Structure 1
Amino acid sequence: MKVLKSVLRFYINSSIHVALSCFALVQITFHVFNIQCDKSMALFVFFGTIVGYNFVKYDALVRVKKKRIGNQLKIIAVLSFISLLLVGYYFFHLKRITQIVAMAILAITALYTLPFFPNRKNARNWAGVKIYIVSLCWVGATLVLPLINAEIPFAFDFFIKCIQRFILVFVLILVFEIIDLANDDPHLKTVPQTIGVKWTKILGLSLLMPFWILEFFISTFNYHDLFINLIMVLMLMLFIVFANPNRSKYYTSFWVESVPILWWLMVVFL
């Protein structure tokens, strides 16, 4: 049991799980827009997520707080380095315009982590903007990049799906912010800090309704996807309702982040 817990802890701490979630959303994008599975695109996002998230999570610990590097952190560093090499490999398999947009997303990630401006904190610590930056990055990586690389024109369906994807990630982050309420710096002005847990839950539940209703407006509308989306929405609603600051970190870092993976599995097997 102790070994299993250690494996699970490493799986989550090394950002493999969140990378799988991004990978799943890329697969959902392929499905929705009838794009032939592009392995290079999907793996670029997967390994890029590992590199990006580990950089965001551990840069401050090592560079600023000078935390001692333990064995697990060393293994995560090796994994991140290997992932960086693979990101570089798959980057050169992408089209030029996709590479340019990917570099823009990378720049936003760097801005999120590093203090580029004098006497200013990094974007991660700017009051009230964290949730929007992360949501935009996820939309860019899991929706915009695959469509650009497949040379799909930005038609009406694209904008509908961008709104849906933004809402989905926004709501997922709301659950994280509820769980992390006791530990977050008050100056971050997260949504629960600003409007309280009750109204954050109401906001999350309210946003899931337009997320589902927007499915009716896409040109590739079908009842199969509508039904699967409904299951996913109901699942997310339960996570929102039962979220509270006393929950284990695995409530979000494993179960909530599993929602995109479960969504993709339903698309594949149902």
Structure 2
Amino acid sequence: MKLLGRIFNFYLDASIHVALAILSLVWVTSSILNIPSDKNLFSFIFFCSIACYNFIKYGVEIKKYIRLGNPCHEYIRFFSFVCSGIATYHLFFLEWETILILGVLGLFTGLYALPVLPGTRNLRSLAGFKIVPVALVWAGTTVVLPVWAAGSALSWDVWIETIQRLILVLILILPFEIRDMKYDPPELKTFPRRYGMVKTKTLGILLIFLFFFLTLLKDETTQLEIVSKTLLSLGMGSILLITKKNQNKYFSVFWVEAIPIFWWILIWVLIGRGN
């Protein structure tokens, strides 16, 4: 059991879980927008996500993960280096236009993590701005990037899906924001620190309603999309309502981050039943 526990903790601590969540959202995009899958792009996104998240977690936000100041940290560092190499390999098989978009997304990631702005450490240091770069990068990576790589037009429905994905990420970040109230410095002025947990949850519920309502504004919707987003909205609402400041250590890092994975599994099951 101890060995299984160590493997599971490594799976979470090495950002494999969050990378799988990001990849699941890319798969969801392919299913909902009916675009072909690019194995090299999907592989790049997965392995690059691991490397980038580990850089941010154990570089920028090391205080939150201080328990990894042990040999496991060295294993994660080596694992991240290997993932960077694999991501670089798949990068060579992508089109230049796709690489250009990746560069823009990488720039946002860098601005979030690195001290490039006068008087501040990074975008994360700007009051009330912490979650915006994260949501933009996730939305761009999981919607705009695969659509562009597939040679599809950035249509009205694509932009609606992009806005929905941005809102989805904002909703999923709120439980982390509530958890991090005891870690984040006061100058960050995150929504929970400024307005409290009740108003944060109220905001989350409003965002869930907006997320679902935007589906109705699309030019083309399918039963698969409506059913899956209905169940997804109910699931996110339930998670948000039971979120508390003193969470179980696996609540956010496993269950909340698993929501995109469950969404992809739900779509896969619905497609299978439809056939």
Question: Which category of TM-score, normalised to the shorter sequence, fits these structures?
Answer: over 0.9
Counterpart residue number, 2:273:
none
What are the residue-to-residue correspondences of 1:107-118 with 2, within 5 Å?
107-118=107-118
The change in CA–CA distance for 1:16 and 1:174 in structure 2 (over 3 A counts) is same
Compute the displacement of 1:21 (Å).
0.3
Give the structure 1 partner of residue 47 of structure 2. 47
- Report the Cα offset of residue 212 of structure 1: 1.0
2:29 is matched with 29
Q: Secondary structure at the match of 2:182?
A: coil
User: SS state of the match for residue 257, structure 2?
Assistant: helix
Q: In 2, distance between residues paired with 1:29 and 1:51?
A: 23
Q: How does 1:1-270 map to 2 (within 5 A)?
A: 1-60=1-60, 70-270=70-270
CA, structure 1 residues 246+69, in 2 after alignment: closer, same or farther (shift >3 Å)?
closer
Query: Match for 1:44: what amino acid?
Result: F
CA RMSD in angstroms comes to: 1.7
**Is the 1:175–1:243 contact (alpha carbons within 8 Å) kept by the matching residues of 2?**
yes
Letter of the 1:250 partner, please give it. Y
Quote the sequence identity (%): 36
Aligned residue type for 1:40: N
SS of match in other structure, 2:117 = coil
The alpha-carbon deviation at position 28 of structure 1 amounts to 0.6
Residues 45 and 214 of structure 1, relative CA distance in 2, 3 Å threshold: same
Contact 1:61–1:67 (CA<8 Å) still a contact in 2? no
Q: Is the 8 A contact 2:117 2:123 kept in 1?
A: no
**TM-score, scaled relative to structure 1:** 0.94
Q: Report the Cα offset of residue 168 of structure 1.
A: 0.2
Q: CA shift at 1:61, angstroms?
A: 6.9
Contact 1:164–1:211, Cα closer than 8 Å, also in 2: yes
Q: Any stretches of 5+ residues in structure 1 without a counterpart? A: none
Paired amino acid for 1:96: W
Question: What displacement does 1:223 show?
Answer: 1.8
- CA distance in 2 between partners of 1:71 and 1:206 (Å): 43
Deviation, structure 1 residue 248: 1.5
Structure 1 position 258, deviation (Å)? 0.3
TM-score, normalised relative to structure 2: 0.92
Q: Distance in 1 between matches of 2:69 and 2:213?
A: 48
Residues 145-168 of structure 1, C-alpha deviation per residue, up to 9 Å, x if partnerless? 101111111111011101100100
Question: How far 1:117 moved relative to its partner?
Answer: 3.3
Q: Look up the equivalent residue of 1:154 and give its one-letter code.
A: L
Tell me how far 1:228 sits from its aligned partner.
1.4
**Alpha-carbon distance, 1:203 to partner:** 0.5
Aligned partners of 1:118 and 1:181: how far apart in 2?
26
| C-alpha deviation, 1:75, in angstroms | 1.0
Q: 1:2 Cα shift?
A: 2.2
Q: Measure, in 2, the Cα distance between the counterparts of 1:169 and 1:34.
A: 22
SS in 1 for 2:216: helix
CA distance in 2, matches of 1:5, 1:259: 21
How many residues were matched structurally? 267
Which letter maps to 1:139? A
Report Cα offsets for 1:98-140 as digits up to 9, x if no partner: 1011011111111111112344212222211111110001011
Is the contact between residue 174 and residue 204 of structure 1 (CA under 8 Å) also seen in structure 2?
Answer: yes
> 1:81 Cα shift?
0.7
Paired AA for residue 111 in structure 2: L
Once the two structures are superposed, residues 200-247 of structure 1 have per-residue CA deviations (whole angstroms, 9 ceiling, x without a partner) of: 000001111121122122233112221111111111101100001111
SS across alignment from 1:181:
helix
Q: For 2:206 and 2:68, locate their aligned partners in 1 and report how far apart those are by CA, in whole Å.
A: 43
